[in-house]
Structures are given as C-alpha cells and as structure tokens.
Amino acid sequence: MRRGKGRRLREFGRRHGTLLTVVGSLGTAAALAIVLAGQRDEFTFALKSVGMWTLVVAVVLQIVALLSRSEAWHLSVEAAGGTVERRVLFRASSMQVLGSVLNSQLGVAARIAALRRSSPSVCPQVPTLIAAEFPILAVEATLAALASFTLVGPLGLPWWLPVIAFAVFATASAGLRKLALRTGRELWRGLAVLRTRTGGTRVIGLVLVAVFSQIFRNWLLLHAVGVDASFLDAIALLIAVAVLGQLPIGPTTGAAAAVLILGSNGVAAVAATGVLLTVTGTVGGLCFAAWAGADHLWTRTRGDVQDAAARAAATSSS
C-alpha cells in the first residue's frame, strides 16, 4: 500500500514538477518576506554594501566550479567508453545551468539529454551516463557528510549524526568501487573511472576544486554583507544549499538556506547573502551557457564554410 502511494507521489512529481517548483518558490518567498518584515532597510543596505568587484569574483568562482565539475564528468564519461570531444561535452554540461534554475534533478536530466542529442554515435547509453554521475555525487556526498558537523550547532542536531552520515557514504563509495570492477552491464560501465587509482584521484581533485570554489564564494559574500562568518559557516551554508536544492523551491533556495543556517547572525544580512548567491550563481551559469551557445554557433559556421570551400574546390577541379 505504501509502495503504491509512494509511486503515485513520484509520478505526480514528474508530471507537475514545474507547478510544484512555482508553488514552492512562491511559498518560500512569502515565508522569507514574513521573516524579513520590518527589516527592509537593513536588507537593502546589505545588498548595496557589496562592491562590484566582489560580485565579479563571486561569478568567476561559480564558473570555476562549473568547469571543474564538467571536467570531472568528462573524465567519467571518457572512462565509460565515450569519445565525445571535451568542448562538445562542456556545451552539453552548460544545459544543466538552465535546468537547475527549477530543480537540480532537472538540470542533470537536461545535461544528459543534450549530450545524447548532440553526439549519439560517440556517447554512451543513458544508463551509463546516469551511472557516470555517481562517482562525482559520491565524492560530494562524502565530503558533505564529513563536514556535516558544521550543522550540529545551527540546527541542533545530535553530535553522532555526522559520524553515521560519513560512515554511510564512505561505505557507499566503497561499494561503488566494487561495482565498478564488474562488467557486462551498461550501468556498471558508468563507474569505470573508479577502476583505476589515477582516474578516481583526478575526479576527487576536480570535485574538491569545485567544492572549495563554492565555499570561498559563500565566505566572500557573507563577509561582503557584514556577516562575521567563519570558514565552517560557509561550509554549512553550502551543505544547506545542496540539501534544500533537492526540494522544489527554485531560486529561493539560497536565501532559505542562509536564513536557516545563519539567521542568528542577522536575518536581513544573511538573506541578502542568499540572494547574492543565487544571482552570482545564475550569472556565472549564464556566462557558461553563453559560451556554449557561441561556441556551437562558431563551430557550425566554420563547418558550413569548410563544406562550401570543399564543394567549390570539387566544382573547379571537375
């Protein structure tokens, strides 16, 4: 009975994902407006106190995170047997930016669909591409579990919960390593990057670059609005954003996470930080997507010119 009910709920979520995100975003925005009631001036002042160069650096850090994670995906897809050019894969990866505005799962689906559509002959099958995400997600989840002690104070969690979380994700990562050694199924091929120490180490290194870029962006914006936040606070905020990003609350994720974790430091200032996280993250993502669109157009134009030149040469020789 419960299983059938759960299946119906998942089906409803798939069919009405956009509606749920709109409703969730409006509801969260309304809740934030209530929390910020009477603090409009402080909120506005916090936003205006951030210099342009700070915002530029925050956008650059977001782009670095996107590029690092895209390269990690490239390594994973390549190890799984894909021969997609790096620039083509990066263009597909940029599609995640547009989908993630609504929901993180939608972003992953958009990226995989874009890659399959652009390079069907040299790209692994969908199950393999889905599995190729697992090594990256496993590293991110293990790092989040390792740093989850930063949530103990803000959320009043029991001290032993981070220990259990780390043990669970570390065990799951070890399980992925064993599955990666299996062959014969499309799903296991997606884990091939874990079969060698070098491949796994490179993925871990790239994910670390992406994660620390996000942490520094959090820390930078928190201090820019006047919040005396520590590096651990910035880590806690990143984890909260990642967790709340699984919910259908869309662009309000950043502000909601900031208020939830650091609201005791001043609701107006931390809410402003959340807004700036969303804005700089979106701008960084749009810059990535703009490059992808320009590169696609340039590649297509160059191909048309080369084809025209080849036809002209063939005509003149005949």
Domain total of the chain: 1
Cα separation, 203 vs 193, whole angstroms: 8
C-alpha distances in Å from residue 268, one per residue of 17, 44, 249: 30, 8, 20
Percentage helix, strand, coil for the chain under 3-state DSSP, each rounded to 5: 85, 0, 15
Phi and psi dihedrals of 250, rounded to 5? 55, -135
- In a structure prediction context, what are the per-residue pLDDT tens digits for the chain, which is 318 residues long? 455 554 554 554 555 566 777 787 788 888 888 888 888 889 999 999 999 999 999 999 999 999 999 999 999 988 888 888 888 899 988 887 766 665 666 777 888 888 888 888 888 888 888 888 888 888 888 888 888 888 888 778 787 888 888 888 888 877 776 666 665 555 567 777 887 788 889 999 999 999 999 999 999 999 999 998 899 999 999 999 988 887 778 788 889 999 989 988 889 999 999 999 999 999 999 999 899 889 888 888 876 666 666 666 666 665
- Tell me whether residue 307 is in a domain: no
Measured over all CA atoms, what is the biggest interatomic distance in the chain, rounded to whole angstroms? 81
DSSP state of 7: H
Cα separation, 165 vs 141, whole angstroms: 9
- Tell me whether residue 110 is in a domain: yes
- Tell me whether residue 308 is in a domain: no
What is the domain range of residue 278?
A: 19-299
- Answer whether 46's CB lies under 8 Å from 269's CB: yes
- Tell me whether residue 42 is in a domain: yes
C-alpha distances in Å from residue 102, one per residue of 96, 108, 156, 177: 10, 11, 29, 32
Q: Helix, strand or coil for residue 122?
A: coil
pTM of the model: 0.86
Phi and psi dihedrals of 102, rounded to 5? -90, -45
